[in-house]
Structure 1
């Protein structure tokens, strides 16, 4: 992708994503002007300049597909992939995926992604390419009142949670490596420095002066979501989610939690949270089972 392609990629993300959901009797993901989807180009290019591959139609010169990818010290993450509705079923996605796999293979790294469990076409695409589903997440959302969460009881560990600062970077990176076995320090530096004003990050402290969890969130008309986050326990996760939801008062953010975290899920229900989708984390190559609670996201995408 070149700078000149960014507007067309933004339009491709907007229209192809909405077309898929609407063709499956679901409401569109993006509403409002096409420009709301520009957040993907803006954030992804800020984090990983030049890491988007596009497919161009020979007949029309227009873009038939695009795929962002994110090289990290421990892996390559597959970001948002889109194919224009006029080219659905034409093998474009496989060609884009093969490009990213080749990048990862050259560096001898696994490829990680988060994909919708509803989309069997994408599941088959990744499965045929050697990706293995490793964890299942339920997408939950909550319409947070302007005055904050009114239902349920605040989590017991709320008094351990505070807003994060750049000074927390090393602790955040270390905790993710311990529990999730991946490293992506530049992502968290980007969130904590927050030059774009889109991000918020919180941490849960422990009695030893370290942290037992962290959770980021993004707010933009094209992406209102909690994550990424890593926590030692379901109690740490509940406190961090509650804290970040209060930061999003008057909004309706979405987040992903492991389906097996039953205590956490029930607590989220008590606040009024509802389910909207299911996602799989998938890995091609080496994988080590994570510990604690992992909350992946789509911005940027690392399962």
Structure 2
């Protein structure tokens, strides 16, 4: 029997069910593919931080699918309209509703929004080893444009990772840096998302931090945001003019994670960065793809995506 699917935005009353959905969907997929049963490594309700931060940034920009018979949440996704593009957030479908077209309905809804509002493109980062999601996005018209190493770095409690040149140029980001952060991302990547940079500087959820690399002559040559939370410990997004600038930003933000580990999503073609991360003891854990529907301007420098705040 075909399940009737109802779509609507998520509401605050849905937060607990959404947290359980994200936790269950990811743990189930990774368990089926040999990662163990606890991908998140946190209490299920701590996954609600994705709802909190996504909804803080763009309230109401979500779509959830509900079972027309039981009212249960079948799947959900946030999306993030920005100055020139829409970012499609983490897509979650409950294991009980796999194969019923839930993901297809959610993606179609977000692409309809993108077209109707006249945005140039829709972007996402997806797992290269999840063939179901790869097929879902490819059928919808998304094209893989970049490939990334997912690398985990264990940071010693004393923070004794080898230093890199340029760290003296890195400092905490301030609200007055937001416009310059937008300019450099626009120059190097063809997008900007000043609401995300401002949110990271203010950090109302006590989870984010932002740094900038300040060149004495040109101004800001790069920035890095990181998230430290039981549900996700990750560096990114990062935009930098060069690998040297990106590495200085990485080294600075890794100091937040002393005595624990952090995830980075690093462009595979940035070999200097990859080799330095290996020298710091990083290990590969997965591969991701940047996928784009619509326009994709030439990029330069270094761009590292993240999942919270959602990537461009």
TM-score, length basis structure 1: 0.97
Aligned partner of 2:225 in structure 1 is 216
Aligned partner of 2:296 in structure 1 is 287
Aligned partner of 2:166 in structure 1 is 157
Alpha-carbon distance, 1:273 to partner: 1.2
CA distance in 2, matches of 1:208, 1:33: 47
Select the residue among 104, 108, 112 that pairs with 1:102.
Answer: 112
Deviation readout 1:157-216 (Å, 9 max, x if unpaired): 111111111121111111111101101111111001112221111111112150111101
CA distance in 2, matches of 1:3, 1:197: 20
CA distance in 2, matches of 1:289, 1:302: 17
State the superposition RMSD in angstroms: 1.1
Aligned partner of 1:141 in structure 2 is 152
Select the residue among 231, 237, 252 that pairs with 1:243.
Answer: 252
Any stretches of 5+ residues in structure 2 without a counterpart?
1-9
Select the residue among 194, 197, 207 that pairs with 1:198.
Answer: 207
With over 3 angstroms needed to count, the CA separation of the structure-2 counterparts of 1:148 and 1:270, relative to structure 1, is same
2:67 maps to 1:57: yes
Alpha-carbon distance, 1:251 to partner: 1.9
> For the Cα contact (< 8 Å) 2:84–2:192, is it kept in 1?
yes
Any stretches of 5+ residues in structure 1 without a counterpart?
none
What is the total number of aligned residue pairs between the two structures? Answer: 301
2:57 maps to 1:47: yes
Helix, strand or coil at the partner of 2:59: coil
Aligned partner of 1:37 in structure 2 is 47
Deviation readout 1:231-253 (Å, 9 max, x if unpaired): 00111111110111012211211
Alpha-carbon distance, 1:146 to partner: 1.0
CA distance in 2, matches of 1:100, 1:192: 28
Alpha-carbon distance, 1:67 to partner: 0.9
Alpha-carbon distance, 1:288 to partner: 0.6
Bigger CA drift: 162-171 or 97-106? 162-171
Select the residue among 6, 11, 20 that pairs with 1:2.
Answer: 11
Alpha-carbon distance, 1:2 to partner: 1.6
> For the Cα contact (< 8 Å) 1:149–1:246, is it kept in 2?
no
> For the Cα contact (< 8 Å) 2:42–2:231, is it kept in 1?
no
> For the Cα contact (< 8 Å) 1:132–1:283, is it kept in 2?
yes
CA distance in 2, matches of 1:185, 1:165: 13
TM-score, length basis structure 2: 0.94
2:123 maps to 1:112: yes
CA distance in 1, matches of 2:205, 2:94: 29
Bigger CA drift: 233-242 or 155-164? 155-164
2:134 maps to 1:123: yes
CA distance in 1, matches of 2:237, 2:299: 14
Alpha-carbon distance, 1:120 to partner: 0.6
Select the residue among 216, 220, 238 that pairs with 1:229.
Answer: 238
Aligned partner of 2:86 in structure 1 is 76
Aligned partner of 2:3 in structure 1 is none
Helix, strand or coil at the partner of 2:103: helix
